[in-house]
């Protein structure tokens, strides 16, 4: 099965909070990342968390990490239509340099 798994699709209303979830399998993951991809564009790093942390907040973004359950989430507060995009979770592992393993992506649709 996939090393990094995400749900395919999430739809929210403008102004609501969005929570995008990700599970991973490798306990040696060192850093976990959230990337955003808009149509026709490359990947933009949103935020990352080191594996010995359980939470990181950056403006409207909150990352929660449950290392025991190997579960990562990204919460976007006050979601805007400009947040509509595909969000990818990725991990890097011990002894794998900076090689990233990506999930399949979650398409976030924000309705006005």
Partner 1 sequence: EAGVAQSPRYKIIEKRQSVAFWCNPISGHATLYWYQQILGQGPKLLIQFQNNGVVDDSQLPKDRFSAERLKGVDSTLKIQPAKLEDSAVYLCASSPTGTAQETQYFGPGTRLLVL
Identify which of residues 97 and 112 has a Cβ nearer to partner 1 in the complex: 97
Q: Binders of partner 1: how many residues, by CB under 8 A?
A: 24
The reply to whether 59 sits near partner 1 by the rule CB under 8 A is no
User: Which residues between 69 and 88 bind partner 1 (CB under 8 A)?
Assistant: 88
Beta strands in 1-112 (DSSP E): 4-6, 9-13, 18-24, 29-37, 43-50, 55-58, 61-66, 71-76, 85-93, 100-102, 106-111
Minimum CB separation of residue 14 from partner 1 in Å reads 26
């Amino acid at each position: 099965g996939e090393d990094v798994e995400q749900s395919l699709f999430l739809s929210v209303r403008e102004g609501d909070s969005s929570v995008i979830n990700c599970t991973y399998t490798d306990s040696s993951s060192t850093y976990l990342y959230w990337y955003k991809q808009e149509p026709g564009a490359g990947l933009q790093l949103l935020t990352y968390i080191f594996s010995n942390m359980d939470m990181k907040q950056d403006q409207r973004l909150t990352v929660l990490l449950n290392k025991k359950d190997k579960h990562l989430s990204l919460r976007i507060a006050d979601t805007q239509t400009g947040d509509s995009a595909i969000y990818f979770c990725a991990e890097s592992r011990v002894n794998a340099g900076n090689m990233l393993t990506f999930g399949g992506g979650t398409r976030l649709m924000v309705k006005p």
